[in-house]
A and B are shown apart, each in its own frame.
Chain A
Amino acid sequence: MDRFIEDKTTKVPVKLEGQEKKLDFMELKTGGFIKQRQKDLFAVRLRCPGGRMSTDKLVEVARIAHRYSKKSVVHFSFRQSLEILYVDYKDFDAMIGEITKIGMKVASCGPRVRVPTACGGCEYNPNGLTDTQGLADMVDKKYFGTPTHHKFKISFSGCPIDCARTREMDLGFQGVVEPEWDEPPCTGCTICSEACKEDAIQSDPDTGKPIYDAKKCIWCGDCIRACPTGAWRAKRYGHLVRLGGKHGRHPVEAREVALFVPDEKVPAVIERTIEWYLANGIRGERVAKTIVRVGLDNYLKFMEPVFEGSALVGRAEKEAV
C-alpha cells in the first residue's frame, strides 16, 4: 500500500506559455494548480467568485474539463470554485489557453486575498437583505490576489442565517436590517411575535401589539416580512462585519466588529483592515492570531475613521448595554 506515501519531488520540466521552464509545484499552487496524489496529475481550481457563473461559460468549462480531465470529473469545492481533476501537467499550456480564451481565470492559494465566497443574497433568496453577489464580484475584481501575511478569506452572507459562514472568515460581511415599528397601522394581530424566532418580540397581553427587545434582536427582518399591515418597517440595511475567523485544524469563530455598515463602506473596511493586518501581523499568521497578540482594541481604534459610530465591542458588551 503506497496510498499515504507522497511524491516529494517538486520540480519538473514543463512547457508553459510556449516556453521551456522548470515548473515548481509549490509555485504552481499559488496559481490554483494543486498537485494530486497521482503522479503527474493536478487539480486545477477555477476562479468563481460567489460560486456564480454564466451558463455560456459553464458550457465552455464543461467542454474543457471533459477534454483535459483524465477521469472526466470535476469537484465543486467548499469555497464555491470548480476544480477540474486529473489534469496532466503536460497539458497545462493548452488548457490554460482555452480557459483564458473563454474569460475564466485560475484561483489562487497562499498568503493573499482569496476568491470571495457569497450566498445568493437579496437578488433571489427569500431571506436575503444584501447584494452579496454584487459585492463578491466587486471584491474579486478589486482585491483578489492582494498579498497578505497568510491566506485572507472574505465572504458575504445575505442574512443572519449566514449560509456563507462569515463566522469562519478572516473578514466576513453578513446582511442585517434594523426593524422599526410604527403604531398607527398595527392591528395587534400578534403575527410578528410568532414570526420572530429570537423571542425578541412579545405580544402585549391586552392589545396584542409588539413589545420589542432590541437586545435579543439579530436583525433578520422576519417581523417586517410577516407583518400584514406594514407597521414593522426597515429602518436601515447594512452589514454585520466579522473579523478573525478561520477554519482548518483549529477553527476560530470571528469577532463581531461593526454593525450596520452600509454597502458603500465595504471597500474601505476591506482596505483598512488589510492595512492594519499588514502593519500588525507577522508572516504566516492569520488575522485570528494577530487579534489575540495585538488586541482587538488596537484594530477598532485603527478602524474608527471607517466604522465611525458602527463599531461593536462584541456581543457580550452589547448585552450589557
Chain B
Amino acid sequence: MLTHERADRRDRVNRSLKKSFMKVNIRLYGLLRDVLPAEKKGRDLLDLAEGSTVQDALCLVGIRRPVITAVNELHEATLDHVLQDGDQMVVFIQAAGG
C-alpha cells in the first residue's frame, strides 16, 4: 500500500476514535512484539472505532510489513475483514525457513 494511503487510513482511525468505540484484543508475536512496550509482551486491548478493519488495527499499532492475521477462530483474516467488539486478533509474521 502507498504511504499516503496508509496516512489517510490512520487519520480516519484517529478521527473515528472520537465516535463509538469497540475493544479488540490483539496478540503480536516475535519481532512484532517490539511495537508495544516490553511489559505488554505483545498483548494489548485496542480501542477502535466501530467498523474498523484488520488493516486499521495494524495501522494503529504501527505494523507496516506483510503479516498473517487471524481473528477468533477464523484463520487468515483478510486486511479488509471488519472487526467486532470483543474480537481476538492474532498477528503472525511469516517465517520463510529456520
Interaction A to B: no
